Chain A
Amino acid sequence: MMSRLIKRFLQTLVSLLLLVLFSFFLSRVLPGDPAKYILTFNNSQVVSSAEGRAKCYEQQYRQMGLHLPFFYFSLESILLPDSFIHLPDNDFKFLLCSLSYYSGSPRLSYSLAKKIVANKENEFLVASFQRVGVSRAVDDLLANRDVTEIDEKFLIDLSQLKSDHENQYWKRWIPSIRWNAENQFHLWCFGGRLDGSGFVSKGIVRGDFGKSWTRGGDVFEMVKFPFLLTLFLSVFVLLVTFPLALITGGWLVFYQRKWYAKIQKPLFIFTYSIPTFWMGTALLLFFANPRMLDWLPSASPVLETKNGFGSWFLSLVSQAEYLIIPLFTLGYSTLIYLSQMVFELLKDELQKPYVLTLRAVGSSERKIIFYYSMKNILVPVIVSGMSVFPLLLGGSVIIDFLFTMPGMGSSMLQACDQKDFPVISGILFVSGLVTMLSFALTDLFTSQVNPLIRQSNFKKNG
């Protein structure tokens, strides 16, 4: 048992690592320049002078720690001296070295140069780049910039690089893997502080997913309660539908010869085929519309989030009427799915020889279905019940959109609207994390419940 536990734990850990890498990838591989995006979003383009915009940009760029390499390893050409890679937090130097590095090559593609500059410096430089070409731009920069800002070693390396570039062109073909102690991934994952740029992070291991680009707030704080609501709804749906599905399934099997049990299947599956968003819209227009049936509220519940979990939960429960339509919309397909599953499994189960024996002994049909057979099909039903869990989490997107619930889905949609990648990757990570944990727990639980699995496992280990 212990070894199984440890093994499962290690497996989950590996999956989690993958999830972390995945989320990091999502938060960094972006279509545009995040610093520029934030400024655009916040209307700073209104600052009309190019100089003013460049200044804003520089401050923003440093605040976000974008001048660091992405990962622990980076792949560079050996032509590039060490001092350029391990530059202090000075993106200007990085730009210079990149520029001069590429300027020697007449075959330099314009697009690459533009890419570097767009990533590393402001549009100001892009403009000068376009106008005068790369080498002139470098000279201009050197002339404009205060030379005392550039340390000696850097200048020596720079001239070395230029001559290398002319003499040893072949060198740029040779890759070398470099180690970066300070990098964006490390900061993102484990946290840390960058001197001089004001970039501080606690890392996702301590629940810091960074700052929202559009709202400036802490992503974790923003996503915490919405996620809790979604989690609550999903778990609630599971907890309710599970016994309900068992009862419905058993009942359907019990009455399977009656006419209404015969038409249930096409009816249920057709309901199951109706897209969630359509069902939700229809319910809203029927039951929460003053022009139709004004039974249920259409607006979202207002949840108390300031005073911790307890008052949040109380405020949720006290506004339960707001949850009726959303819960139904979220749950009906799960209920149908599980009850059909129970129905099929039970029907198969009733064909088994032991049922015949039980009938011969005189057990009531009711007891056979609801006790003996039910016990046997419990594990597969639990397993597929848990496999629905990510679907429920994902379903919150539709639910929140339709009923303006303050759940994870509305955070997600808002973030998607605004391309707020820290929030998007945070939500992706959290929902993945919770589901993985729930998978692991189900595994452990079912191996406890079902002696067969335990036994086979025992055999394997033995």
Chain B
Amino acid sequence: MGEMNNRNKWNHWSLKVIVFYVFISLLAPVISNDLPLLRIYQGEWSFPFLNQEQEYNFSEKTIDGGFEIHAPFGYSSGKSDPLNMSFRGPFDHQLAQNKKGELVEIPLMKRHWLGTNLLGSDLLADILYGTRVSLFISVIATLLASVLALFLGFLAGWFGPTSLKISAVKMLLIFLLFIFWVHLLLNVESSAEGWLGWGVSLFVFIFMMKILAKRKMDVIANVKIFIPIDAIFLRISELFSAIPRVILVLAFIQLLSASLLSIILLLALSAWVDLARIVRAELQSIKSMTYVDAAVMSGIHGARLLLIQILPNIWPTVLVFMLYTFAGNIAIEAGLSFLGFGVPATVKTLGGLISEGKNNFEAWWMIVFPGLWLSVLIYSMFCLSDRLRKTEN
């Protein structure tokens, strides 16, 4: 029964849609590309779309007698079609040059099915490549956020308010090490010197720890202090949940430069709170269960216990929330690009396409198609997480 259920719960149209999106974005260069996918020329096989730069040389040679396979849609994202600039709609007249150099109505195979933007770049290609970027950002950000959330949630949930104790002397040592490292970072800029200091201090630190671990030192090492890890977690998570995400990301993107990396980091940093809270709550309820006790009794400790015994049990809940976070990340990333603060301006994303359309609202296709495409993606994620949640219950 359980197995049936497990198989059934994934059997849903929304998963298929998401897989379709992922598939399409992974294969975007094959689906839509202005370069041939395969070329057999003078008995040599080559895949021009893989190394776009080398194609540069080829265009000067003749291609008589060669054989080429082209992508189904013959345009790359961001490459302008000089004959169809200035917003050609899907139903407008689109032009092409025939072999004699005359301007004619574009052949059906070469049509811009979803229209073009100002510079004549094909909207269909832009959407495909834009989905790729949006998905990439959101997937990485969600994974990062989940790792962070699991770590913090585990820490807070497992130790609770009082059970994390550390020897006071060790604490002091860690503190001193920390101070020294910050000092190196701030005041000793010469990198060779910094690395030397870093290594030496780490060595001294480990040495001291080893000494502390000796029996004779028990008296000192046993003076312990609590670390209220749960309270710290709650306060930090309150801070992060209190500041609106958009505002948080907008504020900090001004400190970093606009790049894929910084947007991923900021999305991850602002997305971990809800998931971490769920993990903490699950862990609190699971901690007192008998099988955990049994595991502890049998000598399973620390990370192993958490990963092998506990994670599989809270995994379904985590998964549902990861999907929510994922959908949220996609929406926020699109919103930021729409506002013009997301990824670098030369990178196409779905939000960026919509904002291009918003500034030229005669070009309805620039608004409608990316918007619908994005909505369907988010919708299927909600449906999938809904489905997972229900089958879990």
Contacts and interface: CB of A to CB of B under 8 A. Distances in A.
A398 B197 CA distance: 48
Nearest to B339: A401
Contacts, number: 164
A441 to B, nearest CB: 13
A77 interface: yes
B379 A398 contact: no
Nearest to B197: A173
Contacts of B358: 281
A439 B242 contact: yes
A397 B379 contact: no
B217 interface: no
Contacts of A287: none
Interface stretch (B85-93, B95-103, B176-184, B301-309): B176-184
A244 to B, nearest CB: 21
Of the candidates B188, B242, B252, B379, the one having the most CB atoms from chain A within 10 angstroms of its own CB is B242
Interface string A157-190: 0000000000000001101010000000000000
A281 B367 contact: yes
B374 interface: yes
Given A412-B250, A439-B238, A270 B186 contact: no
Contact of B354 (A277, A394, A433, A439): A277
A136 to B, nearest CB: 20
A240 B251 CA distance: 30
Nearest to A397: B246
Nearest to B383: A269
B159 interface: no
Contacts of B338: 275, 277, 398
A30 B188 CA distance: 21
A433 B242 CA distance: 8
Nearest to A421: B254
| Interface SS of chain A | helix
A277 B239 contact: no
A317 interface: no
B9 interface: no
B243 interface: yes
A428 B255 CA distance: 14
Q: Please classify the interface of chain B as helix (H, G, I), strand (E, B), loop, or mixed, using the class held by over half of its residues.
A: helix
Interface stretch (A38-46, A106-114, A322-330): A106-114
Interface stretch (A15-23, A51-59, A137-145, A191-199): A15-23
Q: What range describes how many residues of A lie at the interface?
A: 35 or more
Given A19-B239, A108-B190, A112-B189, A275 B244 contact: no
Range class of the B interface residue count: 35 or more
A398 B339 contact: yes
Interface in B225-264: 231, 234-236, 238-239, 241-248, 250-255, 257
B341 A416 contact: yes
B355 to A, nearest CB: 8
A273 B335 CA distance: 13
Given A273-B375, A275-B334, A276-B335, 6 more contacts: A105-B190, A108-B189, A115-B189, A177-B179, A278-B375, A436-B242
Interface of B: 179-180, 182-183, 186-193, 197, 231, 234-236, 238-239, 241-248, 250-255, 257, 327, 331, 334-335, 338-339, 341, 351, 354, 358, 361, 367, 371, 374-376, 378-379, 382-383, 386
30 contacts: A19-B242, A19-B243, A22-B239, A26-B252, A31-B255, A75-B182, A75-B186, A109-B189, A172-B187, A175-B187, A177-B179, A269-B383, A273-B327, A275-B375, A277-B334, A278-B367, A390-B241, A390-B244, A393-B247, A394-B247, A397-B246, A398-B246, A416-B251, A416-B253, A428-B243, A431-B247, A435-B241, A435-B242, A435-B244, A439-B238
Interface of A: 11, 14-15, 18-19, 22, 26, 29-31, 75-77, 105, 107-109, 111-112, 115, 172-173, 175, 177, 266, 269-270, 272-278, 281-282, 285, 387, 390-391, 393-395, 397-398, 401, 412-413, 416, 419, 421, 424-425, 427-428, 431-433, 435-436, 439
